[in-house]
């Protein structure tokens, strides 16, 4: 009785996670703040402000300086996404979305990003999607369930009829807190709390996902 699929954007449908990382790295280098790929792992799926606060650590900045740094990082990020195209959809994504539509499963994208709509347009998947929840939709970020509940509400579906696809620990927590089914994309160390874990969407079908979720039930 799953009738809705809710997809995280960055790291699930496309690899903008890499662009977020590079934009933060550039900012951190300019500010001479210690940062690397490993430190970036802790930023996956969390909001722009919280990401910045983790990067600055104990260093003191005024509110205005923090605002400026968030804007600067966002400019670097927007430079990266400017050149995105449908070829930036991760393997298996377009066929899965198409299959879901054929099976009358409702589709939402729920991203913490304020740039989500731009990215979705660049990927040319707007017409495959029934609802978008983004960084403007709710106050409390993941791991709060709010963004996914907002998406389910847009789809007019109860939480228990929805499955969330996420690449971030905070995202899986949010899905579980929302009372939804969850599929984690990526390593078990990161998304092991999900009902089902997949490396990525390559060769993945809706039937395959359902059978894995059913195994979890029995």
- Residues classed as catalytic: 8, 10
167 binds Mg ion (CB under 5 A): yes
Contacts of 173 (CB under 8 A, 6+ apart): 142, 143, 193
For Mg ion, which is the closer residue by CB, 167 or 173?
167
Q: How far is the CB of 202 from ligand G16 (least distance, A)?
A: 19
Report the residue from 2, 23, 108, 168 that binds Mg ion according to the rule CB under 5 A.
168
Contact residues: ligand G16, CB under 6 A: 8-11, 17, 20, 43-48, 51, 74, 111-115, 135, 168
For Mg ion, which is the closer residue by CB, 158 or 200?
200
Contact of residue 190 among Mg ion, ligand G16, none (CB under 5-8 Å per partner type): none
- Tell me the residue nearest to ligand G16 as measured from the CB: 111
Looking at residues 15 to 54 of the shown chain, list those that interact with Mg ion (rule: CB under 5 A): 45
11 binds Mg ion (CB under 5 A): yes
The number of CA neighbours under 13 Å toward the Cβ of 178 is: 34
Give binding residues for substrate as ranges. 8-10, 24, 43-48, 51, 73, 111-115, 142
Contacts of 84 (CB under 8 A, 6+ apart): 14, 16, 119, 122, 123
Whether the CB-CB separation of 73 and 27 falls below 8 Å is answered with yes
For ligand G16, which is the closer residue by CB, 69 or 214?
69
Report the residue from 10, 88, 146, 173 that binds Mg ion according to the rule CB under 5 A.
10
Tokens at residue 128, please?
């495959």
Q: Burial of 3 by CB count in 10 Å (0-12 exposed, 13-18 middle, 19+ buried)?
A: middle
For ligand G16, which is the closer residue by CB, 54 or 215?
54
Phi-psi region of 203 (alpha: psi -120 to 50; beta: other; left: phi over 0): left
143 binds Mg ion (CB under 5 A): no
Name residue 106's beta-bridge partners. 4
**Residue 102 and residue 133: Cα distance in Å, rounded?**
22
Whether the CB-CB separation of 81 and 190 falls below 8 Å is answered with no
Q: Which helix (H) or strand (E) holds 133?
A: strand 131-133
Q: How far is the CB of 164 from ligand G16 (least distance, A)?
A: 11
Q: How far is the CB of 3 from ligand G16 (least distance, A)?
A: 22
Q: How far is the CB of 24 from ligand G16 (least distance, A)?
A: 8
Contacts of 29 (CB under 8 A, 6+ apart): 35
Residues at the site binding Mg ion, with contacts judged by CB under 5 A: 8, 10-11, 45, 167-168
């Amino acid at each position: 009785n799953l009738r809705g699929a809710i997809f995280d954007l960055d790291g699930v449908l496309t690899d903008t996670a890499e662009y977020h990382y590079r934009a933060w790295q550039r900012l951190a280098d300019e500010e001479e703040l210690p940062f690397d790929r490993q430190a970036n792992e802790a930023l996956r799926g969390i909001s722009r402000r919280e990401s910045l606060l983790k990067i600055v650590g104990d260093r003191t900045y005024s509110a205005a300086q923090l605002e400026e740094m968030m804007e600067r990082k966002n400019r670097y990020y927007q430079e990266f996404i400017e050149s995105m195209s449908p070829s930036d959809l991760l393997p298996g994504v377009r066929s899965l979305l198409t299959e879901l539509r054929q099976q009358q499963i409702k589709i939402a994208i729920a991203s913490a990003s304020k740039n989500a709509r731009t990215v979705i347009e660049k990927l040319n998947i707007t017409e495959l999607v029934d609802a978008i929840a983004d960084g403007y939709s709710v106050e409390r970020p993941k791991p709060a369930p709010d963004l996914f509940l907002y998406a389910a509400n847009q789809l007019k579906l109860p939480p228990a009829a929805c499955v969330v696809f996420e690449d971030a620990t905070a995202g899986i927590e949010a899905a579980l807190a929302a009372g939804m089914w969850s599929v984690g994309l990526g390593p078990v160390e990161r998304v092991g709390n999900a009902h089902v874990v997949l490396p990525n969407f390559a060769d993945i079908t809706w039937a395959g996902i359902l059978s894995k979720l059913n195994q979890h039930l029995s």
